[in-house]
Structure formats: structure tokens, C-alpha cells
Structure 1
Amino acid sequence: MNAVEIEEAVSALAEKPFDRAEFAYAFLEAFGNKETTLKRLRSGASNKSDLGGVLQTNNIHIATCDPGQVMATLQALRASPATARGKAKFILSTDGNSFEAEDLASGETVACTYREFPDHFGFFLPLAGITTVKQIRESSFDIKATGRLNRLYVQLLKENPEWGTAARRLDMNHFMARLIFCFFAEDTDIFSRPKLFASTVQTMSASDSSNTHQVISTIFRAMNVKIADRAAAGIPRWADLFPYVNGGLFSGSPEVPRFSRIARSYLLHIGSLDWRKINPDIFGSMIQAVAEDEERGALGMHYTSVPNILKVLNPLFLDDLREKLTEAGDNPRKLLNLRNRMARIRVFDPACGSGNFLVIAYKEIRAIEAEINRRRGEADRRTEIPVTNFRGIEIRDFAAEIARLALIIAEYQCDVLYRGQKEALQAFLPLRAENWITCGNALRLDWLSVCPPAGAGTKLQSDDLFPPSLNEAHIDFENEGGETYVCGNPPYLGTKKQNKEQKADLERLFGDRIAGWKSLDYVAGWFIKSADYGEHTNSISALVTTNSICQGVMVSILWPVILGSGNEIAFARTSFKWNNLASRNAGVTVAIVGICKAGRRKLKTIFTESDGITTASIAANINPYLVAGENIFVSPRSSQISGMPEMLSGDKMTDGGNLVLSFREREDLLHSYPETSEFVGRLVGGQELIKGILRYALVIPDAKLREACNVPPIQRRLDAVAAMRSASPKLTTQQLAAKPHQFDESRFEKVRKIIIAQLSSENREYYPCDLVPDIDVAMAPSLVIYQSDAWLISILASKMHAAWISAVCGKFETRYRYSSILGWNTFPLPTLTEKNIADLARCGEDILLARQAHFPATIADLYDPDEMPADLRAAHERNDEVLERIYIGRRFRNDTERLEKLFELYTKMTGGQSAPKKRKANA
């Protein structure tokens, strides 16, 4: 369940008569617990309560009570030994009249009437596995309103199916935007009376809903006509209570879908909410989901947290404005200069969605302006920050319309906050007719037309296949001069997830400029457009991106073009989780990259997060891997740069499964033919290495083939391999039929070897590798080094190596993806002395011994970041200490330092110096 669904379920529970015996189970069901879970609690099988209530282990302890005993019961729950034993996160007590709860970790509490507890549902979202930020827990209204709007939207489409067609979708979305404005306006004194819209619909429309659509249509028509002209337009006098709004919101067709009794009831319930609580920065993205078929099932997952948005906006320009405010102090002239500067700042989001970034930027700038006005003794001064300076491009029409509406609401709320209700109302209506949010394809539109560098407005230019569609024929309300800041969170979409139109977008941008553009993530289009835009404007851009464009082969494809066009990285925030409201969603791993013209910012800043703490480091230059240092592009190599042993791909089978044995098949073979043990080795791919899965393969050297064929089960398997290969349409596979005992492209050597997984979870601190017996087979796409030197384990299982792989190899989905030619062959290692090698070998052996001490625990078990055994962690710490001292004489403080040193060494080693000779294996 997502947050909206939970809110609806909790609200439904509160509306029912209180059932003391059933409340706890109904409450847990509202937060997504399945019937089987509730059944176990009811039977007592999993209910650990010692107070006659319901205790769900690791979750919550609930107890109902007699009237007036809520506080005492909550105290009893807090003191209960069962609460501690069951590791309950929450305690909850209610008598059907009062309701109290406590978060035992934070100490936060809820105390309200029983009917009001749904207003606090965000407090309990962790019960559903939803990790929330503070803003969400305090904005239950936005989620509640979104859920109500969604029910109305779905019901209207059910009753008016033609409004759900492509031809009418724009009309339906425009209708919903009008409703949102009316609900907000009637609760914030924009309309002449509280609840004017809802009460008028209730009074003027029949209870059977037969004319509800006509009443709403009349209201919409009225707000598009000045009051003096309404009689001539045939608008009834009762509609004169509604103000003239204009601004394009109520222009065009006033047609409204027909309402059933149910839809009318939904509308009136929405009107009963208190719309003064709306947060436009949160609300917009949730409303967007109402209109998107593919997203409505994920309603409530679209929230972008304000702290995450500020990670973009603060270093982009807000930190500088606040610094200048501090420097100005109470100096009237400096304060005036800063205010004048801010009036000319434009914020441009070319993938604006429902306007989250623009709304937050506007509110933050207004807060700084308000402080300037306070210090200058002009607290009631009208704002000089035009909302039209906050530009956006959005491909979906409804999202674009909601973005504009969200900015209008944000402007009004700021006016109320900083100037007062009366002054805000005087400035609010009629709405502006300008449109500063453009609906269109940002990768096809000319950004200079949407947000020109200065001066006169221009017509929008776009590709004919993707014309703009939202009344933006001219943008002629420019501020002369000033700064432009480009920001946003564009769509990521790896190459395999791009549709034909998206691939065409990238081809249009990169086809003549970058040979390998087909390997680029879709977000790369926004970076190249930002770089091009920066060549003609006084702008800095900062975009949220998946790590993909700063890792692996994409770096050498994209960044030479961006940096070669006179741009540089101004600041960056390295990998962090961009969370949303999806249940149990860990969030996608992203980075933030700011680019500008070279020389625009002398000092660059790299922000890193670790354990919730952000550190900032200053650099003279940030390279495309988001590391301080020279611009460098790590390219695949055919040999190991530091002279270490060759790493090869594992063996391909191409055997139809006939050379592979399960654990049971191996046992049966060895039981009947014990002498075949020399022909059976463990088959080790990534899953087998990490999860300890047992699979085996026939390993038959040419010299032993006749002996092996004397065993009937082996002969049958080889015959099946030959038949499978002979039937293949591939000539190379047919040729292998003559040697059915051999693997395809076999590299197998019967020596002890080190096997490395190709894929690994990004949550592991160390990359998975292991030393295996000589009979074991490395199966592609896992990788193998045909040597058994323990010092190689020390290198492969180090934080230095993990940091390098993370930076240069790229990822598959969110997992690390190892590449021998890009990760291993490029890994820079200082020249090692014999003592260095001996020390590292001892560390590698200690790691292997620590693993063996926990047999049969697998690598997946041992390297769980929360469950790693203390002795294994200590062995790794000693290993990192020894290796890192070889690099710089001490431990590195973090991965940023590690990568800075590795890139420095890589640069030296590829700068014309001869490659070190390969080291020989230790005897």
C-alpha cells in the first residue's frame, strides 16, 4: 500500500463505530497487514502482548481501554516488559473517544480525539515500511486531498468514458485544475465567502446530481467574465459572488463532465477539507499522479522532499544569496542592491513536472527578500520577484498546468505571510494572462526561446514533430540582464528503457557529435542542452542524475563534448539516495552535477554524504567522475596497467545444460562411480559465489576423455551435448560438437584460482571474490585470475578497489558491474616491495580464514552491511590499513580521498611512463 491508500483506509476506519475488540486488527489492516498476519495475531500465535492488547513484534503494541483510561493505558504500554522484548517501535492506546500514541525511538507523541487520528496517519507510516521525512509526516492534508481527488477523477471517467480518451484528456485535466483552484480559493478568502464553491454546488444543484455539471459550468463561465458584463453574457446573478479570475484558467470551453450522486458526494467531501493547509511544493507532484493512467496506481509516490531539492538549489545560487545577505548586514544600499539583483534572477527547470523545484526556489527567494525588506524598514513592501521569472518546460500538459497553478498558489501564500491577507488579496486577482510554463519536449524545444538570455521576447522554436501545446505563442515579459539558473530532475531511462521517440531525441542531439550516443542514458540529453544553453547565457546548471553519466563508458562518451565546449563542473554531490513515498522503497541512487562556463566559479565544491552527515570539500577542478583532480577519461585497456596478473572471463558452457550437475546429480554419480570425482568440479558463477548455491560441471581433460567415456552417465551427457551443438544454427557451435567435453571458448586451467563476481549489490562495502580449488570452474560472466596468490585477494577485497570499480565500471540497474578491461586493467597500484607483497598476502589469508570460521555462511551473509561478523570486519580493516599506507602512508578518510589518489596515480601511469612489468606469482 502507498501513503494515499493508507490514508483512505485509516479515514474509513475512523468513520465506523468504534469496536474495542476489533480496533487493533482493523488498524493494522489499514497499514497493509495481510489477512494471514492478522489471523496469527488473533489466534495468539504471534501476539506477544502482556496487557490483553495486540503486540506485533518489531512494530507496535496496541491496547484499547475503558473511557478515561487512555493516558494510564499508554503509560502501562510504555512500561510493559513485552513492549521491550517485542522491540515495538510504537505504542497506541484509545477508548474510542481519545487517542494517544508514541514513537518509542524519537519520543514524538500524538494526542487527539478518536475521529481526528487519521490526520496523524503520517506518524505511523513506518508501520507500512515507508520511511518518511519530516515534511511528509506534517503534510497529511496533501495526501488526503490527493486521495479524494483521485476517487473523484476515477469516478468521473467511469461515468464519462469519452473524457478519458486522448481527444478529451486535456479537457479533463483542465477541469481538475479549475476545481483545485476553486477549493483553494474558497478557504483562503480569495472568494468572498468561506466554502463558497462547495456550498453553491450543494445548494444550486439537485440532490440527484442531474444538473451538477451545469452549476459548475456556470461558475466557471462567471469567473472568466467581468462582473459588469455577466448579465449580457447570460450568467445568472447568483454567480456574481464569484470573482473575475481570468488568467487563462477559466477561458476556453466551460464544459464539465456529468456527475452521478456518488461523484457529487465525492466533490462535496473534497470541499469539506481545509485547503489552507495546501503545500504547493508537495501537492503539485501528487496531483500530477491523478491524471496519469500509468502512475495512478502508484499514487502518493511522487513526493520530492524539500531537503533533496535544496541539495540542488542551495549550492546553485541560494547559498550565495544568503551569504550576500549576511555580508550586507543592515546596510540599506547593499540590501537594495541585493534585492535588485534577485528581481532579475531567473530559475529555469526544463523538466519541471508539476513545479516542485520552481516552487521551492520561489519560496526561498521570497524569504530572503522579506528579510531584506524587514531590515530596510519596508516589511509591507510589494514583492519585486516576478513569478514569471520561474520558467519551466514539461512534456505532459496537465503537469505543466499544475506547475503554473502551484506557483500562483505559492505567490499568494508568500504574500499572505510577508504582507498580510488584505494586501495579498488586492494583488492576486485577476490572474496573469502570461504563461511561463511551456508544454513541450525539452529536448526538441529551443531553450533560448523559452528562457532568453535578455531583452525582448521571442517566438518559441521547436521541432515540427513536437509542437508546443499550451498557449505560449509569445514570451514577452523579460527582465533585462540578470542571472539564469537551470535546475531539475530530468528522466533517467537507461538505453534499454528508452522508447523510439526518446531514442530519436538523443539521436537528434548527439548523432553528429558523439559516435557512441546510443549507450547514453536519456538524462544525458539535458546535460548537453544545458551546456549548449550556457554558451549563450549567463547561466549555471545543476541537475539530478543517476550515477550512470559519471561512471563507466558514458564518461568518455559524454563528458569530452561538454568539457570541450568551454564548460566545467562547478559543484557536485556524490551518490546519495533520492527517496520517495513508495512502500519499502529504498530510493534510486543519484548524484547532482552543476556545470557552468569555465572560469565562472574559481573554487569548486564536492559534497559527500555518509551516515546522514554531509561534508563539503573545495577543489580547483572536479573531473567527470566527481573527484577532485584533472579531467581524465578512463578507457578500457588490454593489459593490466600496474603489471598485475591477467583477469579473464569465465567459461561459457553452450551445452544445453548437459555438462552441468545439480548437487543431487553429483551425489548420485559419485555414489555409483566414485572414481569420477576427478571429473566433477564446482561451477562458480556470480550467484554461486555470493549465495553459496551448489552446482557442478563435468571437467574432463583431453588426456582423460577415453576414461571418462567408460562411465555410461557421462557418455550419455556428452552425446547430448554433441547433439545439441550439431543442431545449432551457429557454425562455431556446430564445430564444437566434435569436442563435447570442452566448454565453449574454454579458458579453464586446473589450478587454484580467484573468481570475481560480475555483479554485486551496491550495499556491500567490499567486492565479492574468493579463492577456489583447482577443479572448480569459473562460469561467465564471472571473471577469473588463474593464480592463487593471497595478496591478490587483499587487493580485490579492499576499499581502494571497491571505490575504483564503483567510479569507473558503471552499474547494471543499481548494482556494481565489474569489467576486467575497464576496472581491473586500469586499477593503479604503486610499485610493491617484497615486504609489501608479504604483508598483503598475510592480510588476504586473514580475510579468507575469517570467512572460513563462519562456515557455512555465504558471502551474501557475511557481507550484509548490518550483519558483518566482527572478526571479518577487523580483518578487512587491517587489510585496508596495510594497503592504504602503501599509497599515502596513512588511512584514507573516505572514498573521495581514495579516488583522488587513484586518479592522480592513473594520470601519472598513463602520461607516457612505461607500464610496470608483470609481477610473477609467488611460489
Structure 2
Amino acid sequence: MNAVEIEQAITDLAEQPFDGAAFPYAFLEAFGNKATTIQRLRSGATNKSDLGGVLQTNNIHIAVCGNGQATTTLTALKDSPATLRAKAKFVLATDGADFEAEDLTSGETVACAFTDFPDHFGFFLPLAGISTVRQISENAFDIRATSRLNRLYVELLKDNPEWGTAERRHDMNHLMARLIFCFFAEDTDIFVGRGKFTEIIAQMSSKDSSNTHEVMSTLFRAMNTKKEDRAAAKIPRWADDFPYVNGGLFSGSMDVPKFSRIARSYLLHVGGLDWTKINPDIFGSMIQAVADDKERGELGMHYTSVPNILKVLNPLFLDDLRARLEEAGDNPRTLLNLRKRMAKIRVFDPACGSGNFLVIAYKEMRAIEAQINERRGERDHHSEIPLTNFRGIELRDFPAEIARLALVIAEYQCDVLYRGQRLALAEFLPLRNENWITCGNALRLDWLSICPSTGTGVKVQADDLFEIPLDQAEIDFENEGGETYICGNPPYQGARGQFREQKEDLKRVFDGHTNAWKSIDYVAGWFMKAADYGARANAASAFVATNSICQGQHVPILWPLILASGHEISFAHTSFKWTNLASHNAGVTVAVIGISNRPPKTRRLFSISESGNAILQESANINPYLVAAPNVIVSKLSSPISDLSEMSYGNYPGDGNFLTLTALEAQELCARRPDLKTIVRPLYGAQEFIKGLSRFCLWIDDQMLDLASSDPMIANRIESVRATRLASRDASLNKLATRSHQYRDRNVAQSQLVLVPTVSSERRQYIPTELKGASSVTTNQAFALYDAPLWNMALVASRLHLVWIATVCGQLETRYRYSNTLGWNTFPVPTLTEKNKADLTRCAEDILLAREHHFPATIADLYDPDDMPDDLRAAHERNDEVLERIYIGRRFKNDTERLEKLFDLYTKMAAAAAPAKKRKAGARA
């Protein structure tokens, strides 16, 4: 369940007659507990309460009590030994009239009337596995409003299915935007009389709802008609109190879908909420899925927290504005110059969704402007920051409408906050007819036509604030010398998950730049467009992107193009989780990357330490891997740059799986033909050595072929391999049909084999590696170090190597993707002394011994970060300490410092190796 669904469920619960026996189970069910979980609690199988209540381990202890006993019962729940044993995070007591709860972790409490407890549902979201931010808990209204609007939307479509068709979908979305404005306006005195809009509909529409649509249409018509024209337009007296709104919001069709009794009830319920509490930077994200059939199942999951948005906006330009404000002090002229500068700043989000980034940017700039006005003694001065400077592109119709509306609401709220309600009301209506959010495909539109670099735009007013063509009319405003800041959170789709249209988008963007665009994430298109824009305008850009855009194959494809455009990374946030309000949502790992062709001398690199603390590192440069290092790009090498053993790709079978045996098949063959034991070898790919799976293969040397073929089962398998290879479309496999008794590759060890998986879980703190005997065979699902000294294994098993692999090799989905040519061969290691090698050998042996202590636990079991044995963790810590002291004489503070050292060393080693390679190439010529 998501946050909106949970809010709806507990609201329904609060409105039902109170049933003390059923309440605890209904409460838990509202937070997404499955029926089987509830049944086990009811039966007592998992209910550990010692107070006659319901205690869910690791979650909550609930008790229903007698009248007036909620406070004392809550105390008893807190003091309960069972609460402590079960590690409950919450306690809750209610008598059906009062409701009290406490978060035992934070100490925060809730005390309210029982009917009001849905107002505090955000307090309990952790019960559903939703790790939320304080802002959501404190602004639960936005989720409640979204829930009500969603129910109204669905009910209207049920009774008016034609309004859900492509032809009428815009009209339906437009209706919702009108309603949101009206609900906000009636509770903020924009409409005279609190609740006026809802009240008129309740009074003038019949209870059977037969004329609700007519009443609403009349109100919309009044708001689109100037006062002096209303008599001629025959606006009835009961609608005449409503102001003229215009701005395109109420122009066009006045058609309204018909309301059923249920829909009318939902409408009045929505209007009964307190819309003064709306938070436009949250609300837009909450509601944008309402109008999208595919996304409605994820309703409320699109929330983007303000702190995350500020990770983009603050270093992009807001920090600089605040610094200039601090420098200005109380100097009137300097303050005035800053205000004039801000009036020309444009914020452009070419993937704006419902406008979160634009709204936050506007509100933050208004806060700075308010301080300027305060210091100049001009508190009532009108804002010189126009909404039209906050521009966006959004592919979908409804979020684009909500973005405009959110900005209009934000402007009014800022006017009330900084200038007072009287002045805010005096200047708010009528709305202006200017368009500034374009509905279209950002990768196919010319950004300069939507957000020109300087000068006056085309002097055309749009007809409708909420009707915007693809070729958006420009807004008439002067912007000579202005700055443009491009920002946002574009879609991430990886190369394999892109639709045909998205592939075509990338082709258009990168045409003439590179032919390798098929291999990169969709978000790369926004970076390329931003770089092209910045080459022709005074602009800087910053986007949220999957961290893969600064890893692996993305770096040599995308970043040389960005750097060639004159742009460099001006600031960055290294990887962090970008979560939403879905239950148990793990979030996607993202990075924030700012680019500019006028970067500051000192670049800021933000990261999170291993202990969870924020770190700010200032440096002269940030490279495409988001490391404080020169702009080096790591390329594949055919052999190690350091003094390491050669690592080979595992053996590719190309056998149709006919040379592979299960454990049972291998056992039966050896029992039947003991003379063939020597051709049966253990087989290891990544899954086999990580999960402890048992597989074998037929490893037949040429001199053993006649003996092996004497067994009918083996002979049949060899013939099946031959048929498979001949039927293949791969010409190289066709040729291998002549030796169908063997894998394509025939690499084996003489003494020992160190295995490294091709893909590994990102949850592990170390890359899993294993030591096997000479008889073992590896598949192409693993890499192998054949007969390498054991100290090589210590390097593979280190934290240093993991962060290098994660950075330069990239990821498959979210898992680490290993590469011998890009990861191992490029891994920079200082010159090792014999003592260094001996120490590392001992570390590798200690890791292997620690694993042996926990036999038969698998690698997957042992390296689960939540259950890693203490002795194994200690062995790895010792290995890391020994290795890191070789690099810098101490342990590294964090991964950022590790990467900085690795890139520094790589740059020096690559420079030293380059001349030798050049001479070698010349000699061949």
C-alpha cells in the first residue's frame, strides 16, 4: 500500500462505529498487513501482548481501554515488559473517544479525539515500511486531499466514461484543476466567505445530484465573466458574488460531467477540508498520478522531498544568492542590485512533472527577496520575481496543468506571508494569461525557443493559461543579462528498458555527437541538451540522475561530449537513495550532477560517510566519476596496469548445456563408470560459488575421447553438442562442431583458481571471491585468476577494489557489474614489497579460515550485510587496514577519499605507461 491508500483506509476506519474488539486488527490492516498476518494475531499465535491488547513484534502494541483510561493505558503499554521484548516501535491506546499514541524511538506523541486520528496518519507511516520525512508527517493534508480527489475522479469517470477517453481527457483534467483552485480560493478569502464554493454547490444542487453539473458550470461561467458583463451574460444572483478569475483557468468549455449522489458527496467532502494547509511543492507530486490510469496504482508515490530538491537548487544558484545577500548587509544599493539580478533569473525544468523544483525555487527566491525588502524598509514592495521566469516542459497534460496551478498558489501564499493578506488579495485576481509551462517532449523541443537566452520574446499573449500548444508562444519580458538555471529530475530508463520512442528521442539528441547512444540511460539526453543550451546561453544546469550515468560505459560515451562542449562538473552529490512513499520502497540510487561552462574555481562535492554523516569536500575539479580528481576517463586495458596476475573471462561452453551435469547425474556416472571419474569436474559460475550450488561438467581431453564415448550417455551428449553447434547462427560455433566433446574455451589451473563473479549484489560490502582447486572449471559467469599468488585474492576482496569496480565498471540494474579489462586491469596498486605480499597473503588466508568456521554457510549467507559473522567481518577489516596502509599509511575515511587516491594513482600510472605503449606501437609499424 502507498501513503494515499493508507490515509483512505484509516479515514474509513475512523468513520465507522467504534468496535473495541475489532479496532486493533482493522488498524493494522489499514497499514497493509496481510490477512494471514491478522489471522495469526487473532489466534494468539503471534500476539505477544501481556495487557490483553494486540502486540505485533517489531511494530506496535495496541490496547483498547475503558472510558477515560487512554492516558493510563498508554503508560502501561510503555512500561510493559512485552513491549520491550518485542521491540515495538509504537504504543497506542484508545477508548473510542480519546486516542493516544507514542513513537518509542523518537518520543513524539499524538493525543486527539478518536475521530481525528486520521489527521495524524503520517505519524504511523513507518508501520507500513514507509521511511518518511518530517515534512510529510507535518503536512498530512496534501495526502488526504489527494485521496479525496482521487475518489471523486474515479467516481466521475464511472458515471461519465466518455470523459476518460482521449478526446475528453483534457477536459477532465481541466475540471480537476478548476476544482483545486476553487477549494483553495474559498478557504483563503480569495472568494468572499469561507467555504463559499462548496456551500453554494450544497445549497443550489439537489440532493439527488441531478443538477450538480449545471450549478458548477454556472459558477465557472461567472468566474470567466467580468462583473460589468454579467447582466448581459445572465449570470444568476447566487453566482454573482464570485470574482472574475480569467487567466484561462475558467475560459473555454463550461461543460461539466454529471454527478451521482456518491460523486456529489465526495465533492462536498473534498470541499470540507481545510485548503489553507495545502503545500504546493508536495501536493503536485501527490496528485499527478490521479489522471493517469497506469500510474493511479502508485498514487502518492511521486513525492519528492524538499531536502532532496534543495540538493540540486542550493549549490546550483540559491547558495550564491544567499551569500550575496549576506555580503550586502544593509547597503541599500547593493541590495537593490541583488533584487534586480534576481528579477532576471530564470529557472527552467525540462522534465518538470507537477512543478516541484519550480515551486521550491520560487519560494526560496521569494524568501531571499523578502529579506532584501525588509532591510531596505520596503516590506510592502511588490515582488519583482515573475512566475513566468519559472519555466518547464512536461510530457503529460495533467501534471503540466498542476505545475501552473501550484505556482499560482505558491505566489499567493508568498504574498500573504511577506506582504500580508490585504495586498495579496488586492493583486491576485484576475489571473494573468501568460503561459510558462509547455506540454511536450523535452528531448524533441528546442529549449532556446521555450527559454530564450536573452532579450525580448515574441510579443504574443496566449489565449489560455491552461491551454498550451506545443510551439509555445513566448512571453514578452526583458531579460538582458539574465541567468538561466536548468534543473530537474528527468526520467531514468536504462538502455534495456527504453521504448522505441525513447530510443528515437536519444537518436535525435545525439545525432552528430556519437553513434553509441543505444547503450546509455534516457536521462543522458537531458545532460546533452543542457550542454548544447549552455553553449549558446548564460546558463548552468543540475539534474538528479541514476548514479550509473557516472559509471562504467556511460562515462566514455557521454562525458567526453559534455567536456568538449566547454562544460565541466561544477558540483555533485555522490550516490544516495531517492525514495518515494511506496510501502517498503528501497528507492533508486541517484546522484546530483551540476554542469557549467563557467564553473567556480572551487568545486563542491557532497557525499555521505559510512556512518551516515554528510561530508562536503572542496576541490579544484570533479571528474565524470564524481571524484575530486582530474578529468581522466578510464578505458579498457588488455593487461593489468599494476603488477597483478592476469585475469581471464571464464570458459564459454557453447554446448547447449549438454556437457553439464547435475550433482545426481555426476554421482550416477561415477558409480556406473569409475574409470571416467577423471573427466567429471566441479563447475563454477557466479551462482554456484556464491549460493553453494553443485554442478559438474564433462571435461574431455582429446586422448580421453574414445574412452568417454564408450559410455552411451556421454556419446549421446557429445552428438547433441555437435547438432546444437551446427544449428547455431554463430559461424564460430559451427566450426566448433568438430570438437563437440569440449567447451569452446579450455582454461584450467595447475594449482589453484581464484573466482570473481561477473555480477554481484550491491548490498554486499565486499565483492565475493572464492579459492578453488586445480580440478575446478569456471564458466563465463565468472572471471578467474589461474594459479595467481593468493595475495591477489586479498585485493579482490578489499573495500578499495569494490569502490573502484562500482565506479568504473558500473552496474547491471543495481548490482555491481565486474569487468576484467575495465575493472581489474585498470585497478591502480602501488608497488608491493615482498612483505606487503606476505601480509596480504595472510589476510586472504584469514578470510578463508573465517569462512570455514561457518561451514556449510554459503557466500550468500556469509556476506549478507545484516548477518555477516563477526570474525569474518573482522578478517575483512584487517585486510582493508593492511591494504589501505600500503596506499596512504592509514585507513581511508570514506569511499570518496578512497576513490580520490585511486584516481590520482591511476592518472600517474596511465601517464607513465603511455609513452611505452606508443613506442611499442611504433615498433610494430
The residue correspondences of 1:275-286 to structure 2 (distance < 5 A) are 275-286=275-286
- Partner of residue 506, structure 1: 506
After TM superposition, give the deviation of residue 341 of structure 1 in Å.
2.2
Q: Match of 2:503, as an amino acid?
A: K
What's the counterpart of residue 597 of structure 1? 597
Contact 2:658 2:717 in 1 (8 A): yes
In the other structure, the counterpart of 2:782 is: 782
Secondary structure of 1:190's match? coil
Taking structure 1 as reference, are residues 495 and 191 closer, same or farther at Cα in structure 2, changes over 3 Å only? same
Find the aligned partners of 2:728 and 2:484 in 1 and give their Cα distance. 61
Alignment check: 8 A CA contact 1:637 1:821 kept: yes
Q: Distance in 2 between matches of 1:143 and 1:539?
A: 36
Q: RMSD of the TM alignment (CA)?
A: 2.0
Match of 1:920 in 2: none
Instruction: Tell me if the contact between 1:642 and 1:916 (Cα under 8 Å) persists in the aligned partners.
Output: no
- Paired AA for residue 609 in structure 1: I
Q: Residue in 1 aligned with 2:241?
A: 241
Q: Which residue of 1 aligns with 2:546?
A: 546
Q: Is the partner of 1:475 in helix, strand or coil?
A: coil
Where do 1:265-414 residues align within 5 Å? 265-414=265-414
1:727 Cα deviation after fit: 4.7
Structure 1 equivalent of residue 875 of structure 2 = 875
| Conserved? CA contact 1:685–1:780, under 8 Å | yes
What does the per-residue CA deviation read over 1:707-762, in whole Å, with 9 as the maximum and x for residues that have no partner? 44445544454444445445545554444444343113343446421111111122
Q: CA deviation at 1:180?
A: 0.7
Q: What displacement does 1:406 show?
A: 0.2
Determine the structure 2 residue equivalent to 1:488.
488
**Is 1:620 aligned to 2:612, yes or no?**
no
Cα shift at 1:838:
1.4
Question: What is the DSSP-based 3-state SS (H/G/I as helix, E as strand, rest coil) of the residue aligned with 1:753?
Answer: strand
Alignment of 1:26 with 2:26, yes or no, is yes
1:757 aligns with 2:748: no
C-alpha separation in 2, matches of 1:744 and 1:157: 61
Paired amino acid for 1:31: F
Match of 1:896 in 2: 896
- Provide the TM-score with structure 2 as the length reference: 0.95
What per-residue deviation string (whole Å, max 9, x for no partner) do you get for residues 768-799 of structure 1?
A: 11111222221213211112421011111112
CA shift at 1:162, angstroms? 1.6
**1:771–1:788 CA contact under 8 A, matched in 2:** no
Counterparts of 2:386 and 2:328, CA distance in 1: 23
* Whole-angstrom CA distance in 1 between matches of 2:285 and 2:213: 27
- What does 1:28-427 correspond to in 2, within 5 Å? 28-427=28-427
Letter in 2 for 1:819: S
Match of 1:641, SS? coil
Corresponding residue number in structure 2 for 1:856: 856
Structure 2 counterpart of 1:501, one-letter code: E
Does the Cα contact within 8 Å between 2:2 and 2:581 map onto a contact in 1? yes
3-state SS of 2:741 partner: coil
**Post-superposition offset of 1:644:** 1.9
**Counterpart of 2:152 in 1: which secondary structure?**
helix
Q: Contact between 1:680 and 1:775, CA under 8 Å: does it hold in 2? A: no
User: How far apart in 2 are the matches of 1:627 and 1:201?
Assistant: 60
SS, match of residue 289 in structure 1: coil
Distance of aligned partners of 1:151 and 1:910 in 2 relative to their CA distance in 1, 3 Å threshold: same
| 716-725 or 823-832: bigger deviation | 716-725
Letter in 1 for 2:605: I
Structure 1: state its 5+ residue gaps: 461-466, 918-923
Paired AA for residue 535 in structure 1: A
Give, as a single letter, the amino acid of the residue that structure 2 aligns with 1:89.
Answer: K
Shift of 1:621: 1.2
Could you tell me which amino acid in structure 1 is paired with residue 603 of structure 2? K
SS at match of 2:661: strand
> Comparing 245-254 with 640-649, which one deviates more in the overlay?
640-649
Decide whether aligned partners of structure 1 residues 825 and 428 sit closer, same or farther in structure 2, where only a CA change above 3 A counts: same
Partner Cα separation in structure 2 for residue 116 and residue 714 of structure 1: 75
The CA distance in 1 between the partners of 2:246 and 2:459, in whole Å, is 23
Residue 913 of structure 1 aligns to a residue whose secondary structure is helix
Deviation at 1:866, TM superposition (A): 2.6
Deviations 1:208-230 (A, max 9, x none): 22221111111111111101101
CA displacement 1:668-697 (0-9 Å, x = unmatched): 444555555433333222222222222232
Contact 2:450 2:472 in 1 (8 A): no
- Alpha-carbon offset, residue 569 of structure 1: 1.0
Distance 1:836 1:154, change over 3 A: same
SS in structure 2 of the partner of residue 910 of structure 1 = helix
Q: 1:648 to 1:562 in 2, by over 3 A?
A: same
Give the equivalent residue in structure 2 for 1:464.
none
Distance 1:557 1:747 in 2: 33
Partners of 2:334 and 2:16 lie apart in 1 by: 61
Q: Any idea what SS the aligned residue of 2:77 has? A: helix
Alpha carbons 1:2, 1:301 under 8 Å: kept: yes
Write the distance in 1 (CA, Å) between the matches of 2:389 and 2:898: 42
TM-superposed deviation, 1:413 = 0.8
Q: Matched residue of 2:911: which SS?
A: coil
Whether the 8 Å contact between 1:686 and 1:757 is mirrored in structure 2 is yes
Distance 1:127 1:663, change over 3 A: farther
Task: Name the stretch that deviates more: 683-692 or 720-729.
Answer: 720-729
Give me the whole-angstrom Cα distance separating, in 1, the residues matched to 2:164 and 2:381: 46
Structure 2 residue identity aligned to 1:883: L
Residues 552-608 of structure 1: per-residue CA shift (max 9 Å, x gap): 12111111111112111111111111111111111111111111114x411111111
1:911 aligns with 2:911: yes
Confirm or deny: 8 A CA contact 2:450 2:474 kept in the other structure.
Answer: no
Which residue is 1:8 aligned to?
8
Residue in structure 2 matched with residue 463 of structure 1 by the alignment: none
Tell me which moved more, 161-170 or 319-328: 319-328
Query: Is the deviation greater in 484-493 or in 608-617?
Result: 608-617
Letter in 1 for 2:132: T
Taking the aligned partners of 1:440 and 1:321, their CA distance within structure 2 comes to 31
Change in Cα spacing, 1:726 to 1:541, as seen in structure 2 (3 Å) is closer
What is the CA–CA distance in structure 2 between the aligned matches of 1:210 and 1:327, rounded to whole Å?
A: 63
Question: Aligned partner of 1:652: which letter?
Answer: Y
CA distance in 1 between counterparts of 2:656 and 2:560 reads 44
What does residue 608 of structure 1 align with? 607
Tell me what 1:584 maps to: 584
Matched residue of 1:700: which SS? coil
Inter-partner Cα distance in structure 2 for 1:306 and 1:281: 8
Q: Is the 8 A contact 2:403 2:437 kept in 1?
A: yes
Distance in 1 between the 2:914 and 2:396 partners? Answer: 55
Mapped pair 1:515 → 2:508: no
Structure 1: distance between partners of 2:171 and 2:445: 24
Deviations 1:802-860 (CA, angstroms, capped at 9, x unpaired): 11111111111111111111111111122222222112111111111112222222222
Q: Which residue of 2 aligns with 1:449?
A: 449
Q: CA deviation at 1:37?
A: 0.9
| TM norm structure 1 | 0.95
- Secondary structure of the 1:45 match is coil
The DSSP-based 3-state class of the residue aligned with 2:245 is coil
Tell me the distance in 2 between the aligned counterparts of 1:405 and 1:595.
Answer: 30
| CA deviation after TM superposition for structure 1 residue 291, in Å | 0.9
Residue 255 to residue 728, structure 1, CA distance change in 2 (3 Å): same
- 8 Å CA contact 1:569, 1:595 repeated in 2: yes
**What's the counterpart of residue 836 of structure 1?**
836
Does residue 525 of structure 1 match 2:525? Answer: yes
d(CA) in 2 for partners of 1:669, 1:74: 68
* Equivalent position of 1:565 in the other structure: 565
**Partner residue in 2 for 1:803:** 803
User: Distance in 2 between the 1:194 and 1:812 partners?
Assistant: 55
Greater mean alpha carbon deviation, residues 854-863 or residues 614-623: 854-863
- Determine the C-alpha separation between the residues in 1 that align with 2:502 and 2:307: 30
Aligned 8 A contact 2:758 2:783 in 1:
yes
- Structure 2: stretches of 5+ with no match in the other structure: 461-466, 918-925
Which is worse superposed, 847-856 or 615-624? 847-856
